[in-house]
Chain A
Amino acid sequence: MNHPLVEGFFRMDKFPHIWCPGCGHGIIMASIARAIEKIGLDKDKVCIVSGIGCSSRAPGYMDFNTLHTTHGRALAFATGVKLANPELEVIVIAGDGDLSAIGGNHLIHAARRNIGITTICFNNNIYGMTGGQYSPTTPTKEKGTTAPYGNIDKPFDITQLAIGAGATYAAKTTAYHVPQMDKLIETAIRHKGFSMVEAISICPTYYGRKNKKGSVVDMMTFLKDSFIDVKVAEKLPPEKKEGKFLMGEFINKAEPEYTEQYDQIIASQKK
Chain B
Amino acid sequence: MAKKVKFLQGNEACVEGALMAGMTFYSGYPITPSTEIAELSAERLPRIGGKFIQMEDEIAGIAAAIGASLTGAKAMTATSGPGFSLKQENIGYAALTEIPVVIVNVQRGGPSTGLPTAPGQGDLMQAMWGTHGDHPVICLTPDSVRETFDLTIRAFNLAEKYRTPVILLTDEITGHMREKIEIPDASEVEIYNRIKPEPGSDYKAYKVVDGDIVPKMADFGSGFRYHVTGLMHDETGFPSNSTKNAGILMDRLMAKITDNLDDIITFEEIETADADYLIVAYGGTARTAKAAVKKLRAEGIKVGLFRPITVWPFPEAALYKLSEQVKDIIVAELNYGQMKLEVERVVKNNAPVRFCGKANGEVLTPEELIQKFKEVL
Contacts and interface: CB of A to CB of B under 8 A. Distances in A.
Interface residues of B, number: 43
Contacts of B73: 84-85
A270 B49 contact: yes
A84 B225 contact: no
Given A70-B63, A77-B64, A85 B221 contact: yes
Interface in A188-229: none
B191 to A, nearest CB: 19
A265 interface: yes
Interface string A33-72: 0000000000111010100000000011001111111100
A31 interface: no
Interface stretch (B53-61, B111-119, B274-282): B53-61
B220 interface: yes
B199 to A, nearest CB: 11
A47 B48 CA distance: 25
A266 B49 contact: yes
A23 B165 CA distance: 37
A270 B67 CA distance: 24
Contact of B25 (A44, A73, A80, A266): A80
Contacts of B228: 66-68
A49 B227 CA distance: 10
B71 interface: yes
Nearest to B43: A269
Contacts of A66: 225-228
Contacts of A138: none
B89 interface: yes
Given A68-B231, A106-B56, A270-B48, A80 B221 contact: no
A215 to B, nearest CB: 31
B238 interface: yes
Interface in B81-112: 89-90, 93
A88 B238 contact: no
A83 B50 CA distance: 10
A170 interface: no
Contacts of A81: 67-68, 70-71, 220
B51 interface: yes
B47 interface: yes
B247 interface: no
Contacts of A63: 225
A271 interface: yes
Given A60-B238, A65-B221, A87-B221, A80 B64 contact: yes
Contact of B220 (A88, A108, A109): A88
A171 interface: no
Contacts of A79: 27, 53, 55, 60, 63-64, 67
Given A49-B67, A80-B67, A85-B220, A73 B225 contact: no
Interface centre among A47, A85, A87, A266 (most CB of B within 10 A): A85
Nearest to B25: A84
Contacts of A76: 55-56, 59-60, 63-64, 67
Contacts, number: 131
Contacts of B363: none
A269 B46 CA distance: 6
A146 interface: no
Nearest to B101: A80
Given A43-B225, A269-B47, A69 B60 contact: no
A46 to B, nearest CB: 8
A81 B63 CA distance: 10
B66 to A, nearest CB: 6
A78 interface: yes
Contact of A68 (B56, B72, B225, B230): B230
Contacts of B75: 80, 84
Contacts of B71: 81, 84-85, 88
Contacts of A106: 56, 60
A14 interface: yes
B67 A109 contact: no
A262 interface: yes
A69 B227 contact: no
A146 to B, nearest CB: 22
A73 to B, nearest CB: 5
Nearest to B231: A68
B56 A70 contact: no
Nearest to A113: B53
B365 interface: no
A105 interface: yes
A103 to B, nearest CB: 10
A226 to B, nearest CB: 34
Interface centre among B51, B66, B227, B239 (most CB of A within 10 A): B227
Contact of A69 (B48, B63, B239): B63
B226 A80 contact: no
A78 B67 contact: yes
6 contacts: A66-B228, A77-B63, A79-B53, A79-B55, A81-B71, A85-B73
Interface of B: 24-25, 27, 46-49, 51, 53, 55-57, 59-60, 63-73, 75, 89-90, 93, 219-223, 225-231, 238-239
Given A67-B67, A84-B73, 4 more contacts: A43-B225, A44-B221, A68-B239, A81-B71
Closest 3 A/B residue pairs (Cβ)? A80-B67, A80-B64, A76-B63
